[in-house]
Every structure is written in C-alpha cells, then in structure tokens.
C-alpha cells in the first residue's frame, strides 16, 4: 500500500510542477510576445482580458469605444514600459494590465475635458490627409497626455512596491486608514484598548512607509512638483 501512495504523491507533485512551469512559460510567452509585438499573443491578451475591461468601462459610465481606446492605450503603455524601463516583477500579466486599464479609465473620468480621446490612433490613419497645425498641436498634446499617464503608472507602481515591503500588520492598518475606516473599527479589528493606541500605530506605519518611499531610487524622478 505504501509504495502505491508514494507513487501517487510523486505523480501529483510532478503534475503540480508541470502546471507551475506551464504557467511560468505562459506568462513569459505572453510578456515577450507583447513586447515583440507578436500579433497572435496580443490577440490572445484581447481574448483573455478585453471582455473584463469592457465590463468595467460599461459599469463606469463608458461605452464600447471608450473600452477599446483604453485597452489599446494600456497595451501600448505596457510595451513602452518594458522598452524604456525596468518594470517591477509582475505576478500576473492580466492582473497588472487590468490595473493599468482601471487607472487609465478613472483618469479619463477625472479629467475635466476629453481632449485626447483616441486622437493618436486617428492621427496614425489620417495623418496623410490632415496635416494642419491644429491637428499637429493636438497630436503633441495627446503624446504628452500619454506620457503623463505612463509616469503616473510608474509612480503608482513605486508606491505599491514600497507598501508591499511593510509588515502584514502595517499594511492592514494603513489599508484601514486610507480607506477612511473609523478608529472604533480599528479597535475591533486589531484588539486595541483605545483610539490613541490606534492613532500611534497608524503614525508609526505611515512614517515607516513614507521613509521607504523617500529612500527609493526613483522617488526624486517621480515625486510631485
């Protein structure tokens, strides 16, 4: 009986290793395919992720065209990040791309006016027909807007990577704090005796996080002016 169980355990272990290695292979194929501009890999990303992005945009005051614009911009941003910088280790390509899409769409919603909507994609196919100063100006503006979105995502990644370096307890405390939970809930969740204890813990964790952020090599380049 024992050799039989051992054999099964070994088989199961091998299967898990195979699944893990296939996952890694899939992730790196997807990333390298994306960076190389491999059309089939990009289409695969569309099939896997676009429906989710479309749902998100539709639920947040957008339409199909908005979702398509945002998705194209997100792919372009990720490719540019790979080519221009070292990007943080990504646990899942889909999850990271979805974060970029959410940020890009929220950014559009927060903007006062919809200046750059698809201007660059339109420019590419119509640049031979339209070459007025006005359209050139709006194209430059659109590239600058994309650059700002690129830098914002870089800053976002910097903050998230610093946040992940905190202890689990500090992360939980700060997540409560920045989501504006009342201090009474802190006492309940973390078992503190009083509000002043909760405030002190928040202060310590915030100070630690702020120090990590300020000592990051990219902080000066990405800090707000």
Partner 1 sequence: MSIDERTAARIDDYLNDKLSKSERKKFESELKSNPELADELKIQENLLQIIGERGITTSRSSFSKEAIDEVAGFLSGDEMTRIRKDIEEINDRYNGKTSKTRTLFYQITGIAASVLILLSLGLTLLLNKNGDLYSQYKDKYQPISMVERSETESALSIVEKNFNEKQFAKVISITSASGDLKFKYPVMLLYQGIAYRELGEYPNALESFSEFGLISDLDTNLMYWHQGLVYLKADDLEKARETFSKIDQNGSFKGEADVKEILDSLK
* Contact set with partner 1 (CB under 8 A): 37, 39, 42-43, 46-47, 50-52, 54-55, 58, 64, 68, 71-72, 75-76, 79-80, 83-84, 102-103, 106-107, 109-110, 120-121, 124-126, 140, 143-148, 150-152, 155-156, 159-160, 163, 174-175, 178-180, 200, 203, 206-207, 209-211, 213-214, 221-225
Burial class (CB in 10 A: 0-12, 13-18, 19+), 186: buried
In whole angstroms, give the CA distance from residue 20 to residue 22.
5
Q: Which is nearer to partner 1, 13 or 124 (CB)?
A: 124
Q: Which is nearer to partner 1, 29 or 152 (CB)?
A: 152
Cβ partners under 8 Å of residue 4, min gap 6: none
* Closest separation in Å from C-beta 173 to partner 1: 11
Q: Which is nearer to partner 1, 27 or 212 (CB)?
A: 212
Q: Which is nearer to partner 1, 30 or 120 (CB)?
A: 120
* Closest separation in Å from C-beta 23 to partner 1: 21
- Spatial contact of 174 and 206, defined as CB atoms under 8 Å apart: yes
Burial class (CB in 10 A: 0-12, 13-18, 19+), 188: exposed
Residue 119: name the closest of 69, 182, 58 by CA.
Answer: 69
Cβ partners under 8 Å of residue 64, min gap 6: 54, 58
Q: Which is nearer to partner 1, 18 or 144 (CB)?
A: 144
First to last CA, the chain: 70
* Closest separation in Å from C-beta 95 to partner 1: 15
* Closest separation in Å from C-beta 13 to partner 1: 32
């Amino acid at each position: 009986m024992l050799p039989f169980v051992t054999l099964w355990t070994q088989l199961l272990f091998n299967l898990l290793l195979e699944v893990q290695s296939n996952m890694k292979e899939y992730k790196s194929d997807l990333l390298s395919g994306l960076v190389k501009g491999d059309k089939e890999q990009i289409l695969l990303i569309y099939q896997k992720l676009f429906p989710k992005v479309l749902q998100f945009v539709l639920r947040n005051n957008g339409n199909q065209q908005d979702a398509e614009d945002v998705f194209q911009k997100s792919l372009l941003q990720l490719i540019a990040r790979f080519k221009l910088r070292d990007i943080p280790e990504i646990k899942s390509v889909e999850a990271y791309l979805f974060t970029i899409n959410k940020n890009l769409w929220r950014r559009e919603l927060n903007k006062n006016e919809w200046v750059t909507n698809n201007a660059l994609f339109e420019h590419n196919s119509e640049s031979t027909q339209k070459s007025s100063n006005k359209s050139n100006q709006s194209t430059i503006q659109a590239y600058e807007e994309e650059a700002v979105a690129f830098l914002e995502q870089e800053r976002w990644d910097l903050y998230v990577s610093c946040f992940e370096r905190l202890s689990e307890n500090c992360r939980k405390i700060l997540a409560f704090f920045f989501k504006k939970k009342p201090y009474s809930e802190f006492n309940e969740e973390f078992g503190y005796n009083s509000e002043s204890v909760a405030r002190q813990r928040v202060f310590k964790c915030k100070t630690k996080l702020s120090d990590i952020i300020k000592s990051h090599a990219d902080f000066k380049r990405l800090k707000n002016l």
